Each structure stands twice: as structure tokens, then as C-alpha cells.
Amino acid sequence: MQRQDEALSVPTPPEFLPANSSLVDNLPLTLPNTLSVSKIKGITVIVTLAGISFLNTMGSGILIAALPRIASDVELSDALILWPAAVYALAAGCLLLIFGAAADAIGAKIVWITGSYLFVVFTVALGLANTGLQVILFRTFLGVAISMCLPTAVSLITNTFPKGTWRNVAFAMNGMGQPLGYALGLVLGGIFTDSIGWRWAYYMMAIINFVLSTASIWSLPDMKPGGEKRWTKRLAEDIDWAGAAIMSVALGLLLYVLATITTSYASIKGPGTIACLTVSVILLVMFPMWMNYQTNRGRPALIPNSLWKNAPFTTICLSVFFCWAALNGIEYFTTLYFQQVEGLPALQSSLRFLPHVIMGICVNAATAYLISRVQVQTLAVVSALITVVAPALMATIKVGENYWYAPFWALFLSPVNPDVLFTVSNLIISDAFPVDTQSLAGGVFSEVSQFGNSVGLAVTAAIAASVTEHSGSKDTRIALMDGFRAAFWTIFVSAAGVAVICFFGLRRGGFIGKKDN
């Protein structure tokens, strides 16, 4: 825990903020006001960090597009066909907070570089996999590797770039990498699968990853956290390991339950699922109690309970949860609509996501410019109202309807709110944490978004499967579409909830991303 006499080097604790104050007014005074590295090095930092963010989702996009062929080649059974995607999220979700906290003690650069090189190794291993078990195992290790990169990226950005244009652009480009990577992964996955083979898509990823990882050794800032204290002592004394373990195990069990529900919604009745869910809920209830215990004794607390009293922080966490639940759902079910209802091959289905990519690029570029010029409430609410149109269009679509009438506009509008919120949320969450725990701040954002992804997919998949099963139609396509419509309406509710949450929760958010005076 930071002492009160260190107030000039950390943000004012939320409980001491004036009622009309925004996070922007309470930033640490030690952050530089000018760019401390050359422009070439600054650009390289942005490219390397955004590049790994891009490859993270690109691998998932390739997997979705090539999964039927992969399952056939490695003899992956139907019962396990969704597990290569599920274990990636499960491994990352369990370790984001732990690696984020550890990076603040050891150094964000060494953790990020280690994770990025491990990502290279296991991407190559995935391309060489010959059995279903190997595919699942290497996807699990990839989840571990990316959990070292995602939280530390926030710390590396905030310690490289001062508040203002450079930092805004860095977060926006990092956000652009995610939807761009996923959509391009879908396209390339279809192309490689139908040509030289899906394995070469992963080999190509590994080559790009290796180049970025090597460039990062030169470009990323050397950070020495904790002053003169040895890193072993920082690990032992400055991290709430018990809190990290409680939350990681709780979320890991919950993500496992969600993964099993996604595979088969009937599995919620299984004794193993019920046991995991029960233990997870108990641990989630214990977590704030443990935070209170640590705080009262002046010990490090992973995420102090007082932080949730900060309205912008709590609002943005809730918004990210529901927004990512909606984004993941609309991408997943739109893909299923193209392939299972319209009967399109993987490549044709993937090409229809190009408007999604183009809009994502444009929105991130616009957000980098507007973030310091438009109030955060306006940005969040307007973008949410635009995105809420997308699931409504897909929920009311007619089977066989022209692509340009509804699917095009749904894919064109769906990334607006997620891409705006990525930059907004990273700025708000990083401002809410002290300067020396920025990797943990990145872990919190990544954990919330990952959890939103998993919950959104599990809930919508269960609803779609149940509605399809009880559909009165004998036509398989119509029955599937009934389930998909129910899923899209659920996504609509989630997206609309983001607009409501941001409208009321960010009323005092003010402006963010402005350069310090």
C-alpha cells in the first residue's frame, strides 16, 4: 500500500476525490509531459505492442475459419471441437492479474518480451500439431503466453508516452489491432485452408511475431520498479498473492463452467459443473472481504475496495464487460449465420467481414483524435447507440436476404462502441491505478474484457441452442435461425445496457487524454 506522504507520486485515492472531480485532475505529477524517446523508437513501441495485440486475435480468427479442417486433420472429436478456443481464454483469464502484478515487481519489459517469444514458440508448435490433444495443449500454452503480454502493454505505454496525443494514439492503435487481427485471421484462415493449408497461417504468424519480439528488445523502455529494493523482495512483499490467487481461481473455475455451457447448455446440470460454479461464487464473495482485511492492516491489496467507489472506473468496467460480451456474440453468430444458414464456404464468409475491419480502423483513428476534444460521456454513449443497431438488424433479418441490406450494415456498425471503449477504458483504468502498478491496471482491463467475452458467448450459445431445440420448424435452417435471432436479441440488450450505463455513470467523467500542464 502507498503511504499518504507519497501522494505526489500516485493518483489521489478515490475516497479522497472531490465529488466534482474527474480522474484527469488527479494524475501522478511524476509522469513526463514531453516524449522521452525518439519518434522512431516511439513509433516502434506502438507497432510492436499493437502487433502482438493484432496477432492475439488473428490466431483466434484463423482457428474459427479453419476449425473444421483442423478437426479433420488432427482427428479432434466433436465433443472437443470448441476446446481449442475455450482453453486459450481459460488460461489467459486465470493468469492476467497474476502476471500483471508480477510485472509491476519484476519489470513490464522482461515479462512482455518473455511472453512474446513464448507466443512464437507455441504458435510454431500449433502449426506442427498432429493430434487433437496437442492442439488443445498448445492453445493452452498460447493463452499463458498472451497473459504475459496483454497487461504489461498498458504499463509500457504509460511509461513510454506522456498524457496527450502520443498516449492516445498508442492506446487507439493497440485497440485497432484486436478487431483487425480477428477479421484478417478469418480471411486468411479461409484462404490458407483452401490453398496451401491452415498450418502455414500459423507459421506466417510466428515469423511476424519473431520480428516484433526482436524489435521490442531495442524499443521498449527499460523500467526498474521498486527503487533499490531487490526484485525477489518486491515479489515477496509488494504483491497481494493471496488476493491474486483467490480471484484467479474463482475466474478460472467460472470460465471453465462457461466453456462447458458453450459446448452444451445441458451441462449446467452436471454435478461437476455445479461444484465448480459453487466454489467460484464462494471465492468471488471472499475476494472483497480479503481486500478489506488487507487494507485495514496496511498491507498490499490487489484491487482495493475503495477503487469501486470511483464512478468512472466502475462504470467503464461494467461497460467493457457488456460491450465485449456483445461484440464477441455478434461476430460468432454472424459467422454461423453465413456458414450454417446461408451455406457459404469459409472464405466467402470471411470476406464479408471486411466492412468490420475497415470501420474498426477508421473508428480507432477517429478516437485517437477525438478523445481529448469530446467529453468521454458523449463518446461512449453515441458510439453505443450506433452499435446497438447492429444486433437489431441481424435479429430481424430474413433468411436469404441480400448481404447489402442487413449483414453489411450490422458488421459495419458493430465495432464502433468496442473500439471507442478500448481507448477510453485503458485511459481511465490506467489513471485510476498508481504509476507503479500499471501492469496490474492492464490486467484488470484484460480480465474484464476476457470475462465479458466468455460470459457473452456462453449465455448466447445456451439461449440459441435451447430455442433451436424447441423450435417447431422442421426446416433445419429455420430452426437454427430461430436460435440465432434469440441470441441477437440478447446481444441487443447487452449493447443497449452499455449506453445506459455510460450515460449515468460517466456524467462527471469530463475530458480524458489531455496533456498535463
Q: What is the pLDDT of residue 34?
A: 57
Q: What is the pLDDT of residue 214?
A: 93
Question: SS in 3 state form for 234-301?
Answer: HHHHCCCHHHHHHHHHHHHHHHHHHHHHHHCHHHHHCHHHHHHHHHHHHHHHHHHHHHHHHHHCCCCC
Averaged over 124-131, what is the pLDDT?
92
Comparing 104 with 208, the larger pLDDT belongs to: 208
Residues in the chain, overall count: 517
Residue 286's CB: how many other CB atoms inside 10 A?
Answer: 15
Residue 252's CB: how many other CB atoms inside 10 A?
Answer: 18
Q: For the chain, report the end-to-end CA distance as a whole number of angstroms.
A: 28
pLDDT exceeds 70 at position 185: yes
Averaged over 226-241, what is the pLDDT?
73
Strand ranges in 341-387 using DSSP code E only, listed in sequence order = none
pLDDT exceeds 70 at position 413: yes
Q: Please check whether residue 36 is in contact with residue 55, taking contact to mean a CB–CB distance below 8 angstroms.
A: no
Take residue 174 and report the three cell numbers written for it.
493497440
Lowest mean pLDDT among 225-239, 365-379, 449-463, 466-480: 225-239
- pLDDT class for 23, splitting at 50, 70, 90? very low
pLDDT digits (tens, 9 = 90+) for 271-314: 888 898 899 999 999 999 999 998 888 888 888 888 788 788 88
Q: Three-state SS for 302?
A: coil
b (16+ CB within 10 A) / e for 200-230 = ebbbbbbebbbebbeebeebbbebebbeeee
Q: Quote the DSSP letter at residue 372.
A: T
Encoded amino acid at 6, one letter? E
pLDDT exceeds 80 at position 15: no
Predicted TM-score (pTM) above 0.85? no
**Domain residues of the chain, as ranges?**
26-223+230-505
Cα–Cα distances in angstroms (integers) from residue 149 to residues 49, 128, 181, 251, 408, in the given order: 8, 23, 16, 19, 33
Q: Please check whether residue 23 is in contact with residue 10, taking contact to mean a CB–CB distance below 8 angstroms.
A: no
Distance, CA of 62 to CA of 217 (rounded, Å): 28
Q: Please check whether residue 31 is in contact with residue 427, taking contact to mean a CB–CB distance below 8 angstroms.
A: no
Averaged over 171-193, what is the pLDDT?
82
Is the domain 26-223+230-505 a CATH 3.40.640.10 member?
A: no
Q: What is the pLDDT of residue 453?
A: 82
Distance, CA of 86 to CA of 165 (rounded, Å): 37
